[in-house]
């Protein structure tokens, strides 16, 4: 077991709490004006799939489970689940849909992801931090409108809804954070 402080936890980390394994779904740090900063963690218990929320002081120590993080390449999805291949030894593993969850929208054939393996079973998935997607639906561009702090709704090529700046039009490729689908920048190429 390895102890880490709560503020260092990220989506996909695996925790050992009272002998049970949990995978982190979301991790947010809150720094109120007065009082102690806290980390809010939403997680799923691996044994039964129940979702749990915990709140710790940002400096509190939390047990991270010993798991092996390995690079795998996404192949396809079928009735058994999502199939990944280890590019080093060509071993294939089927991952249960509960482990993939909402990350399914970002999976592309051939994409390299990190699977957390505990006792031979894939228990968590970490996508690359960014994804490049095309805007397939949004409001039209208003002539003369420049980048501002207000965003307009858009639907991306993977079906995810996001907010984009007013100058982004249908067909534009953009970079988004896979963690929450938020707009980062216009794609370079």
Would you kindly state where each structural domain of the chain is located, as residue ranges? 2-64, 68-126, 130-186
Given this chain, do its domains 2-64 and 68-126 carry the same CATH topology? no
The pair of structure tokens assigned to 37 is 């900063």
Spatial separation of the C-alpha atoms in residues 180 and 26, rounded to whole Å:
9
pLDDT of residue 146: 59
pLDDT of residue 41: 92
Residues 6+ apart with CB under 8 A from 129: 177, 178, 179
- CATH domain 68-126 topology: OB fold (Dihydrolipoamide Acetyltransferase, E2P) (2.40.50)
Spatial separation of the C-alpha atoms in residues 66 and 70, rounded to whole Å:
13
Spatial separation of the C-alpha atoms in residues 108 and 127, rounded to whole Å:
10
Per-residue model confidence as pLDDT tens for the chain (189 residues): 688 888 888 887 888 888 888 888 888 988 888 888 999 999 988 877 788 999 988 888 988 887 888 999 999 999 888 999 999 999 888 888 888 888 888 888 989 999 888 877 888 888 888 989 999 998 887 666 555 568 889 999 988 898 888 888 888 999 998 888 888 998 887
Q: pTM score, two decimals?
A: 0.68
pLDDT of residue 147: 54
pLDDT of residue 165: 87
Residues 6+ apart with CB under 8 A from 135: 154, 155, 156, 157, 164, 168, 169, 170, 171, 172, 173, 174
Cα distances from 120 to residues 43, 44, 47, 93, 123, in angstroms, run 21, 19, 14, 9, 9
Write the class of the CATH domain 2-64.
mainly beta
Instruction: For domain 130-186, give its CATH number from 2.40.50.140, 3.10.690.10, 2.130.10.10, 3.30.465.10.
Output: 2.40.50.140
pLDDT of residue 40: 92
Spatial separation of the C-alpha atoms in residues 173 and 168, rounded to whole Å:
9
Spatial separation of the C-alpha atoms in residues 98 and 71, rounded to whole Å:
19
Conformation bin of residue 98: beta by default, left when phi > 0, alpha when psi is -120 to 50: alpha
pLDDT of residue 65: 83
């Amino acid at each position: 077991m390895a102890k880490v402080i709560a503020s260092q936890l990220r989506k996909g980390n695996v925790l050992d709490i009272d002998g049970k394994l949990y995978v982190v779904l979301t991790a947010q740090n809150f720094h109120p004006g007065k009082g102690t900063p806290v980390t809010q963690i939403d997680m799923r218990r691996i044994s039964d799939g129940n979702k749990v929320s915990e709140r710790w002081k940002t400096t509190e120590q939390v047990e991270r489970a010993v798991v092996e993080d390995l690079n795998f390449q996404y192949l396809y999805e079928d009735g058994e689940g999502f199939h990944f291949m280890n590019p080093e030894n060509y071993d294939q593993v089927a991952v249960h849909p509960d482990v993939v969850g909402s990350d399914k929208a970002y999976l592309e054939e051939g994409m390299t992801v990190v699977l957390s393996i505990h006792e031979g079973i894939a228990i968590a998935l970490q996508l690359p931090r960014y994804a490049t997607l095309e805007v397939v639906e949004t409001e039209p561009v208003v002539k003369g409108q420049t980048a501002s702090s207000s965003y307009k709704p858009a639907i991306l090529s993977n079906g995810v809804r996001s907010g984009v700046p007013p100058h982004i039009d249908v067909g534009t490729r953009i970079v988004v954070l896979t963690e929450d689908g938020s707009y980062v920048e216009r794609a370079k190429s």
